[in-house]
Amino acid sequence: MSEAVATNRKARHDYAIEDTLEAGLVLTGTEVKSLRAGHCSLQEGYAVVRNGEAFLKGVHIAPYEQGSHANVDSIRDRKLLLHNQELRRLTIKLKERGYTLVPLKLYFLRGHAKVELGLAKGRKLYDKRHKLREDEEKRKMQDAMKRFSRGERI
Taking only the tens place, the pLDDT of each residue in 7-51 is 888 888 788 888 889 999 988 888 888 888 888 888 888 888 888
Give the whole-number percent of the chain exceeding pLDDT 70.
95
DSSP type of residue 115:
E
pLDDT score of 22: 92
Model confidence, pTM: 0.72
pLDDT score of 139: 92
In contact, 27 and 78? CB cutoff 8 Å:
yes
Give me the torsion for CA of 48, 53, 59, 61, rounded to 10°: 180
For the stretch 43-76, pLDDT in tens is 888 888 888 889 999 888 888 777 677 667 677 8
For the stretch 114-146, pLDDT in tens is 999 998 887 777 777 888 888 889 999 999 888
pLDDT score of 75: 76
Give the whole-number percent of the chain exceeding pLDDT 90.
16
Q: CA-to-CA distance for 67 and 71, rounded, in angstroms?
A: 6
pLDDT score of 1: 53
Sign of the CA dihedral running 3, 18, 27, 64 = negative
